[in-house]
Amino acid sequence: QFVDILYVYMLEELLQSGEISLEEGKMVLQVLRENYEAMKHKTCDLIIVRKLGISTCLLVSNVDDLIFEKGTKIVLREAIMKYTEALKTKLL
């Protein structure tokens, strides 16, 4: 199924970029598996934030501004559509 390939593709791209750790990759995969179906028809971003070595992953839709407490680093903010379009191009 396309979504399963998408999850693997996203995970590979994120891990190869060095922006996320393997544990964060597992967290991304879990969040995608549990929530992507509800979000797939919306424009949404994958966001990973880290504070004091603790990471969390979010799927957000229609958010222009994200404000976190001081010391929180936005590790990654990417549109899911970026990965969807890139994968479709590779599969064609």
* In the chain, domain spans: 2-91
Note the pTM of the prediction, 2 decimals. 0.87
> How far apart are alpha carbons 63 and 83 in whole angstroms?
19
Mean pLDDT of 65-87: 93
Q: Which token pair is 14?
A: 């994120």
Q: Where does 1-92 have alpha helices with state H?
A: 2-17, 22-39, 80-91
Rounded average pLDDT over 14-27: 95
Non-local CB neighbours of 56 within 8 Å, separated by 6+ positions:
27, 48, 49, 50
Provide the phi-psi class of 44: left if phi over 0, else alpha when psi is between -120 and 50, else beta.
beta
User: In this predicted structure, what is the pLDDT of residue 11?
Assistant: 95
How much is the average pLDDT of 34-55? 92
